[in-house]
Amino acid sequence: MKKVTSKTIQENGDTMRAEYDFTGAVRGRAYRPLHLGYTIKIHKADGTTEIQEVKPRGGAIILDPDVQAYFPNSESVNAALRSLIKLIPNKRAQNIRAARQVSKKRALA
């Protein structure tokens, strides 16, 4: 096999090494949505395997990639949502009043 040098890579503009073989690869085979969680397998030197299930924390909200492009961090997401909340301030007050009325009816029954 011909040895690939950095000069050859620069000439061809190709950064893929010659020893990489993707002939049997399937694009997206291991893809699963993050909100379903994922499994990590840790193979230890003594031959045992530790399996860890990773799930998003409770209350975690996962943004789609097209939405993430507009929000670089959680502060910007929170600021945008707070500005939307200001547009509908009465909705929360109505929900709180309705919940109180239901709880009063249950207490009397």
- Tokens found for residue 62: 């996962």
At 46 the pLDDT is 94
* Residue bearing the bigger pLDDT, 72 or 14: 72
Whether residue 4 has pLDDT greater than 60: no
Domain ranges of the chain: 31-108
- Tokens found for residue 17: 């090494």
Phi, psi of 77 (to 5 degrees): -65, -45
Cα-to-chain-centroid distance, residue 23? 29
14-68 pLDDT, tens per residue? 677 888 888 888 887 767 676 678 888 999 999 999 999 888 777 778 788 899 8
- Tokens found for residue 55: 């799930």
At 1 the pLDDT is 54
- Tokens found for residue 69: 């492009």
How far apart CA 107 and CA 109 sit, in angstroms, is 6
Of residues 33, 32, 62, 37, the one with CA closest to residue 52: 37
Angle at alpha carbon of residue 24, lines to 53 and 51, rounded to 5°: 15
Confidence band for 104, pLDDT divided at 50, 70 and 90 = confident
Looking at residues 86-106, what average pLDDT do you find? 74
